[in-house]
Amino acid sequence: MDMKIAFTAGRSDMAQSAWAALIRRYGDVPEPEADVIVALGGDGFMLHTLHRTQDLPAPVYGMNRGTVGFLMNEYAEEGLTERLALAEEEVINPLSMQATSADGTEHRALAINEVSLLRAGPQAAKLRISVDGRVRLEELVCDGALLATPAGSTAYNYSSHGPILPIGSDVLALTAMAAYRPRRWRGALIPKTAKVRFDVMEPEKRPVMADADSRSVRDVVAVEIHSEPSISHRILFDPGHGLEERLISEQFV
């Protein structure tokens, strides 16, 4: 039985050229009818595809036509059906963000990598952090803070000196960006089942924006985040090159 493949690509010339070549070679079906969705682009496009197709049964196999491609496999036009047949699946759960803006409007979004809070003015942000309803840090003065999943721990979190998390770990990384006070605070590991809340102190003087996988909400006063186990993203990787291996390898370079 032939594998039914749906191809989707980013806007770059490199991604569009690969999309046309692969469709000529392997054909193309609508995504709801596909056995697998092949995404051509970079990590940003992969995140967009995972969010967009989360209600479809087909897993997503990415091929890198972008820059870093941490969530992608190497691009090759030949042997795609054989690679798909041998691919190994990783299942990840996103974070759910509920952000309340200064006018009382509530915004909801999902994040596969991380939810971040960033200062939106000239002065540092001032945040209070609670975990499961208990205040754990009364005041964090910083450029921002984020909560990252294991899959996203090598992205913005790692750039902010947060820890890399094994893909199967049941923890989230809570990391500060340019912490001023407490200056030596190194962040925390939070159980995956926990609910984390950020309250923005002095929001008029120190405005803050919240971001969930590049979907932004300005002028937030409170942000609540928890893992969403009811949603599962299925990602395919070539054997020996899955997220677990990549997360380990990233720590030895």
Rounded CA separation 251/228 (Å)? 27
Rounded CA separation 171/191 (Å)? 4
Rounded CA separation 112/49 (Å)? 11
Beta-carbon count within 10 A of 253 CB = 4
Rounded CA separation 168/74 (Å)? 23
In the annotation, is 28 catalytic? Answer: no
Please provide the DSSP assignment of 64-87 as one string: E-SS--TT-BPP-STTHHHHHHHP
Q: Taking residues 237-247, what's their average pLDDT?
A: 80
Confidence of residue 1 (pLDDT cuts 50, 70, 90): low
The residue behind tokens 């009382």 is: 104
Q: Taking residues 1-19, what's their average pLDDT?
A: 94
Task: Flag whether pLDDT at 63 surpasses 60.
Answer: yes
- Torsion over CA: 245, 249, 167, 154 (sign): negative
Q: List pLDDT tens digits, range 179-235.
A: 999 988 889 999 999 999 999 999 999 999 999 998 999 999 999 999 999 999 999
Beta-carbon count within 10 A of 157 CB = 27
**∠ CA 171-160-239, rounded to 5°:** 55
% the chain with pLDDT above 90: 83
Among 81-85, 88-92, 110-114, 242-246, which stretch is predicted with the lowest mean pLDDT? 242-246
Task: State the pLDDT at residue 250.
Answer: 75
Name the catalytic one among 28, 43, 170, 199. 43
Burial of residue 104 (CB within 10 Å: 0-12, 13-18, 19+) is exposed
